[in-house]
Homo-oligomer: A and B are copies of this chain.
């Protein structure tokens, strides 16, 4: 990452973080506002608002006019994290206890609900000229995220999920919000129809690459970097790219070996090494890396219709960051 991009990202991240904290400054009821402050102070990467703001700038718009929407989108992302963590029984997130673990499920349900409402409240501050179009886009995207999460949970109990179904699921659960970030940014930046479409595709492809990378990191990343238990997707029988690919394409003997690993209640480092070894032999790790590279290359191609400016350069850089990320 160039220093220029790093400075820009940090600056935008700080602005978004400050705005979000201002939105949940109330003290009472403590059982609502303490969890809200906690969620929003956990230091996420803020990729979605970054995408939204860079997209606005890339089509010649002013970042200031897109800030409310960027904050709203990040709040939506945090809403999904809080509720998904309950559903997935995940205890750790970004290196800290999840809300339902630190408080209880009720607090987490309510905190998630409130994050979503505050997101919409913030979105309503954008220019009234764009409010209807963007509200519709915002809601249809979030509904798809809910559909994606429903599919994700359905897939856990299904042994026959195909890679096509996997891509449908992550298309909704992850890529849709990436695409919405870019689209909304481009609309608020007054981009042309062609620019909006290009950025939407860029966001979607980036989102798919991001999720496949996420699936890889569950197995490959160094402990403590991820901020959550390594191998937890595998333990929960999540239909990640890795599992879906292996189940569709690997020889039976490898599937039997993976099945054998499932018997371990908690995966130690030796189990993980063994799983990585099996997935290498089936060609699954290589297929995942290829998928990521291919999506990111396609994503970069989409940026071709934009004018050559700093924001576009940063969007290129962001795509490389996705491939190199370790957490």
B147 touches A32 (CB 8 A): yes
Residues from chain B with a CB closer than 8 A to the CB of A109 are 83, 86-87, 109, 112
B29 touches A151 (CB 8 A): yes
Whether A143 contacts B117 in the complex (CB less than 8 A), given A87-B106, A128-B132, A149-B110, comes out as yes
Secondary structure call for the A interface = helix
Which stretch of A7-15, A37-45, A133-141, A231-239 is in the interface? A133-141
B113 touches A83 (CB 8 A): yes
Give min CB distance, A79 to chain B, whole Å: 8
- Per-residue 0/1 for A73-95: is the Cβ within 8 Å of any B Cβ (1 yes, 0 no)? 00000010001001100000000
Check if A120 is an interface residue, CB within 8 A of chain B.
yes
A147 touches B116 (CB 8 A): no
Find the residue from A29, A135, A136, A138 having the highest chain B CB count within 10 A. Answer: A29
Check if A225 is an interface residue, CB within 8 A of chain B.
no
Give min CB distance, A2 to chain B, whole Å: 38
Check if A154 is an interface residue, CB within 8 A of chain B.
yes
- Per-residue 0/1 for A19-34: is the Cβ within 8 Å of any B Cβ (1 yes, 0 no)? 0000000001111100
B146 touches A113 (CB 8 A): yes
Residues from chain B with a CB closer than 8 A to the CB of A295 are none
Assembly stoichiometry (copies): 2
Give min CB distance, A128 to chain B, whole Å: 5
In angstroms, Cα B113 to Cα A86, docked, is 13
In angstroms, Cα B143 to Cα A110, docked, is 10
**Complex A-B: 9 CB contacts under 8 Å:** A29-B154, A31-B150, A32-B147, A83-B109, A83-B113, A86-B106, A118-B143, A121-B136, A135-B135
Nearest 9 Cβ contacts at the A-B interface: A121-B139, A32-B150, A124-B135, A29-B150, A87-B106, A114-B146, A117-B142, A31-B150, A128-B132
A→B interface (CB under 8 Å): 28-32, 79, 83, 86-87, 105-106, 109-110, 112-114, 116-118, 120-121, 123-124, 128, 131-132, 135-136, 138-140, 142-143, 146-147, 149-151, 153-154
A sample of 20 more A-B contacts (CB under 8 A), given A120-B139, A124-B132, A124-B136, is A29-B150, A29-B151, A30-B154, A32-B146, A86-B105, A86-B109, A87-B105, A106-B153, A110-B146, A110-B149, A113-B146, A114-B143, A118-B143, A120-B120, A121-B136, A123-B135, A124-B139, A128-B128, A128-B131, A135-B135
